[in-house]
């Protein structure tokens, strides 16, 4: 079953929206390998994300093959256990200042989030696993990769070919299904006032 058809079984949108959005989800089961050109198209999607003044603060540090072992060392044990079958592990960083006059860019994280989602949506559209992670040692990643203070580490993600849930440890396999979301009324204030808990 494809990533999208699994999502359609679990997720029912409450307003008219492209399936692109609600059929993206984050599986952990991976088997086989994606090609370089398959990976490349995901970063191409990220490249076209919008950003304030079009400064494009996102950067992606990609590890495949043997180099993946170095990135695996950053991960908490829970993530290590399912990431071993990923084709690529990626550290997503953002440039804190705009390259234009080196002024602080207040939206560097916001814009990098947009690029990450573009990557994830393109991955889901192609039926690939793209799974975001904050469960890793940020300091270690900064030190080992020698990431300069000009950049903030935002997150990591695992990218790979979707596999059967049987490749996962039993507990994890049980959780291998698309989850739900808050109600629209919990995230949108229609009357233009701040009325959130």
Ligand X SMILES: Cc1cc2nc3c(=O)[nH]c(=O)nc-3n(C[C@H](O)[C@H](O)[C@H](O)COP(=O)(O)O)c2cc1C
The site for ligand X (CB under 6 A) is made up of 25-26, 79, 131-135, 155, 178-179
Report the run of H or E that residue 35 belongs to, with start and end. none
CB of 124 to ligand X, least distance (A): 9
CB of 120 to ligand X, least distance (A): 8
For residues 123 and 132, which CB has a smaller minimum distance to ligand X in the complex? 132
CB of 179 to ligand X, least distance (A): 5
Tokens 């560097």 belong to which residue?
Answer: 108
Report residue 160 as tokens: 């790979």
Cα(6)–Cα(179) distance, integer angstroms: 11
SS3 percent helix, strand, coil of the chain, rounded to 5, is 40, 20, 40
Cα(65)–Cα(94) distance, integer angstroms: 24
For residues 19 and 135, which CB has a smaller minimum distance to ligand X in the complex? 135
Report the SS3 class of residue 55: coil
CB of 123 to ligand X, least distance (A): 11
Q: Buried (b) or exposed (e) across 111-147, using 16+ Cβ within 10 A?
A: bbbbbbbbbbbbbbbbebbbbbbeebebeebbeebeb
Cα(143)–Cα(194) distance, integer angstroms: 40
For residues 97 and 178, which CB has a smaller minimum distance to ligand X in the complex? 178
For residues 3 and 39, which CB has a smaller minimum distance to ligand X in the complex? 3
CB of 157 to ligand X, least distance (A): 8
For residues 86 and 155, which CB has a smaller minimum distance to ligand X in the complex? 155
For residues 26 and 87, which CB has a smaller minimum distance to ligand X in the complex? 26
CB of 90 to ligand X, least distance (A): 12
């Amino acid at each position: 079953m494809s990533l999208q058809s699994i999502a359609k079984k679990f997720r029912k949108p409450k307003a008219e929206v492209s399936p692109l959005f609600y059929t993206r989800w984050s599986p952990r089961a991976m088997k086989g390998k994606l090609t370089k050109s398959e990976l490349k198209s995901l970063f191409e999607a990220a490249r076209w994300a919008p950003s304030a003044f079009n400064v494009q603060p996102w950067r992606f540090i990609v590890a495949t093959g043997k180099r993946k072992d170095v990135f695996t060392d950053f991960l908490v044990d829970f993530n290590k256990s399912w990431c071993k079958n990923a084709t690529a592990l990626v550290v997503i960083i953002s440039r804190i200042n705009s390259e234009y006059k080196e002024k602080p860019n207040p939206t560097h994280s916001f814009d990098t989030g947009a690029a990450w989602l573009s990557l994830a949506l393109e991955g889901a559209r192609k039926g690939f696993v793209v799974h975001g992670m904050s469960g890793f040692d940020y300091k270690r990643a900064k030190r080992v990769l020698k990431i300069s203070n000009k950049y903030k580490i935002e997150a990591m993600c695992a990218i790979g070919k979707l596999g059967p849930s049987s490749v996962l440890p039993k507990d994890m396999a049980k959780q291998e299904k698309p989850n739900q979301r808050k109600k629209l009324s919990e995230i949108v204030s229609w009357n233009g006032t701040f009325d959130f808990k």
